[in-house]
A and B are shown apart, each in its own frame.
Chain A
Amino acid sequence: MIHPGEDAAYERHVSRNTCDYHYLKVGLAFEETRPGFRLNAAHFKQLIVSALKDLHGEIGAALPFDVLKFEEETLTSILRVKSNGLVKLWSALTLLGSYQNQKCAFRVTQVSPFLLALSGNSRELVLN
């Protein structure tokens, strides 16, 4: 905002590695469209923590991450994780194969350091 009296100075800011967090948009897929049990946000987080523990052990399970949003109907969610824990969280999600003896799979739709970017879809740019 330029006020009268102030001169319109041109400023250039370059920021490097300033993104503290990465955001993931993930969906959980089951063999049937509706699993026979209800899965709320707490269960969902518990599932991810156990996946982290399976792959990375106790230290992995201690990785801080947040479930920002969880939709029970579509089983989609938005996760936030510190950038240095992204690879750990993502690989744990990739290698998760079952929940309560039901086969399931995490479908990572989008990954971005900016939450705003999740509002659009980068994977299906050619839409009919």
Chain B
Amino acid sequence: MALFADLNIVNTPDTDRKRLQSLIENAAHLGYSTVAINHVAEFQGKKQEIAKPISVTELYPSPPIVQGKSKPIKILTRLTVIVSDAAHCNDLRITSPHTRSYDIVAVLPKTEKLFHVACMTLDIDLICINVIEKQPYHFRRPSVNGAIERGIYFELAYSPAIKDSTMRRYTISNALSLMQICKGKNIIMSSAAERPLELRGPYDIANLGLLFGLTEGDAKAALSTNCRAALLHGETRKTALGVIYTVKKVSATEEKDEGTPLSKRAKTKSD
């Protein structure tokens, strides 16, 4: 089974290191094996700043242990660009060497046209669904199908639903209208948490997914398998061609051969 991941821990400029650390510790305690620290870039007033991501090793020399796994938590970096104008997409393309330093790149399109562009052409991994205001446009089937074919995932954040009851309404209604089109495919649920108490356990969120109209299997995949797929999509974007996982072998081959019977040993020239 793929491990649980929460791909959205918000890092605003005013977030201090201590709060970020306590958030990550909390996520590890709740059972998330992977978290991504999210940097939000908003092109308001032409102040373009896609800064370098936070240094993970600097933040944590030794990451906290995941609950029930006895392994340290994996911390990634993610960039979210709020796209409200077509010109911002160009910035996304021009700065593409800059976005390379991030593990995941997401966009939040504000108009239907930009949503279509994000689904069909932009080189990204996630499309955020706005959960803090009413969806200003309808999701259209061609765009969503295009995104599913390209392996782009849609992200729903749940922590605004915990904070405020109107946002809760928007979250549920936007989620349901998306589910009608995508039928539960390519959905990721993440926290967008700014405080430790806004985080919820992975099983709680899988249950919440049932409320959004996902099936039980889809809801669990939205926290585990789909997140993994989005991460791998991000890695292919970095390398441009594909991903190769290599495992370094520590022990010498001779030592291994001792235990195996003669017939199963690799044939060498001396035999």
Q: Does A54 contact B (CB under 8 A)?
A: yes
How far, in whole Å, are A94 and B204 apart by their CA atoms in the complex?
6
Q: Does B201 contact A (CB under 8 A)?
A: yes
Within residues 201 to 255 of chain B, which ones have a CB less than 8 A from any CB in chain A?
201, 203-205, 207-208, 210-211
Residue in A29, A31, A91 whose beta carbon sits within 8 Å of that of B207 in the complex: A91
Q: Which residues of B contact A123 (CB under 8 A)?
A: 31, 67-68
Q: Is the CB of B197 within 8 A of A87?
A: no
Q: Is the CB of A124 within 8 A of B207?
A: no
| Shortest Cβ distance from residue A12 to the other chain B in the assembled complex, whole angstroms | 29
Q: Is the CB of B70 within 8 A of A126?
A: yes
Q: Is the CB of A94 within 8 A of B67?
A: no
Q: Is the CB of A95 within 8 A of B210?
A: no
Q: Is the CB of B197 within 8 A of A108?
A: no
Q: Does A21 contact B (CB under 8 A)?
A: no
Proximity string of chain B (12-50) to chain A, C-beta cutoff 8 Å, 1 when within and 0 when not: 000000000000000000110000000000000000000
Q: Does B182 contact A (CB under 8 A)?
A: no
Q: Does B98 contact A (CB under 8 A)?
A: no
How far, in whole Å, are A108 and B208 apart by their CA atoms in the complex?
13
Q: Is the CB of B207 within 8 A of A87?
A: yes
Q: Does A64 contact B (CB under 8 A)?
A: no
Within residues 68 to 111 of chain B, which ones have a CB less than 8 A from any CB in chain A?
68-70
How far, in whole Å, are A103 and B198 apart by their CA atoms in the complex?
9
Within residues 25 to 40 of chain A, which ones have a CB less than 8 A from any CB in chain B?
29-31
Q: Is the CB of B161 within 8 A of A87?
A: no
Q: Is the CB of B162 within 8 A of A97?
A: yes
Q: Is the CB of B197 within 8 A of A31?
A: yes
Q: Does B150 contact A (CB under 8 A)?
A: no
How far, in whole Å, are A103 and B197 apart by their CA atoms in the complex?
7
Q: Is the CB of A94 within 8 A of B200?
A: yes
Q: Does A104 contact B (CB under 8 A)?
A: yes
Q: Is the CB of A97 within 8 A of B211?
A: no
Nearest-CB residue, chain A, relative to B163: A97
Q: Which residues of B contact A104 (CB under 8 A)?
A: 197
Q: Does B165 contact A (CB under 8 A)?
A: yes
Q: Is the CB of B197 within 8 A of A29?
A: yes
Task: Give me 14 A-to-B residue pairs in the complex whose CB atoms sit less than 8 angstroms apart, sorted by A's number.
Answer: A30-B197, A54-B165, A87-B210, A87-B211, A91-B208, A91-B210, A94-B200, A94-B205, A95-B208, A97-B162, A97-B198, A108-B204, A123-B31, A126-B70
